[in-house]
Amino acid sequence: MKLAKRNVKRWNRKVYWHGEGILQKLSKPIVNGIHSFSYKGLFYDFIIENNNSDTTIFFFHANISREGKELPFFMGNRVMSGKKVNRVFISDPSLLMSETLSLAWYSGVFDNVKVQDVLLKSIHKIIFTLESKKNIFFGPSNGGFAALYFSWFFPNSLAFVMNPQTRISDFTFNAVQQYAKSCLDLTLNIDDTFKNNFLICKKTGGDVRKMYQEKIMNSIIYLQNESDHHVELQMTPFLNMVKNKNHIKVIIGNWGIGHKAPPLDVIEKHLENYILNDLFWMKT
């Protein structure tokens, strides 16, 4: 498979190339910059900002318009900028599998390797090397899906999500179909979302509802715009299936019409409430 064009230099940060394998050269103290590696031919790119904190936020981006943009893509630079937290921005490697794909939920499969598996090992390594104690997984929309997915594997972590998808197959069919063709080599049926979910989940982790129905050892701050169709299609089914609702705080807001994320001041107010709340982290 020919990969899309990639240009890490456009971010004007020092680039550290780790070669083939998962962050092979990562060591203490982690130096700030873009850390990149390849795994079975697919490229993985992270901006790591080490501020010598015991708290780390992992940022997962939402969908992007590919016109005029080169990968990698990072999102969230204004969030908690200048604060005493480490920040790790992750570009979705799955987007490299297409020149036009705008979202892929960080859940492609390349050369029979799940992107999710490689990213999970990468995050483990970053947390260990940073010696991070409080770990927050942050994302809007499809980035919120990724935040929910990865946070689940880290007991006592926090998923901070805004208008997230919770099952890939329940999203807009055309977008899901393009993703399935480009990243999973699947053809889906517009009239059978149940089968689509089955097919996607045979290949990759495409349904966080099932994960949180099984168990929940992390916490979730779930910000949802009240006029978004995701209330009915994504949030309500998720909350109906989750095993322990005591681990979830839902915040409903009015931030515009439709699929609108909250403004920066709302995001930072809630983030800081939890980052600075020692009692919260003691309970988790």
Count of domains forming the chain: 1
Rounded Cα distance between 32 and 35, Å, is 9
For the cut 80, the answer to whether the pLDDT of residue 283 exceeds it is no
219 found inside a domain: yes
User: Is 225 a domain residue?
Assistant: yes
For residues 142 and 277, the model is more confident at 142
Average pLDDT over residues 190-194: 91
* Total Cβ atoms within 10 A of residue 17: 12
Q: Is residue 4 part of a domain?
A: no
Model-level pTM?
Answer: 0.96
| Angstrom distances, CA of residue 73 to CA of 89, 91, 126, 240 | 9, 5, 19, 33
pLDDT of residue 68: 82
| Residue 82: inside a domain | yes
Rounded Cα distance, 146 and 123, in Å: 12
Q: Is 135 helix (H, G, I), strand (E, B) or coil?
A: strand
Residue-wise pLDDT for 105-124, tens only, equals 999 999 999 999 999 999 99
Q: Residue 251: give its domain's CATH number.
A: 3.40.50.1820
Give percent of the chain with pLDDT exceeding 70. Answer: 98
pLDDT digits (tens, 9 = 90+) for 15-65: 999 999 999 999 999 999 999 999 999 999 999 999 999 999 999 999 999
Residue 284 has pLDDT above 70, yes or no: no
Confidence (pLDDT) at 8: 96
pLDDT of the residue at 236: 96
Is residue 152 one of the residues assigned to a domain?
A: yes
Judge whether 1 lies within some domain. Answer: no
- pLDDT of amino acid 274: 82
Range of the domain at 19: 10-283
Q: Is 110 a domain residue?
A: yes
Does a structural domain hold residue 252?
yes
Per-residue model confidence as pLDDT tens digits over 129-168: 999 999 999 999 999 999 999 999 999 999 999 999 999 9
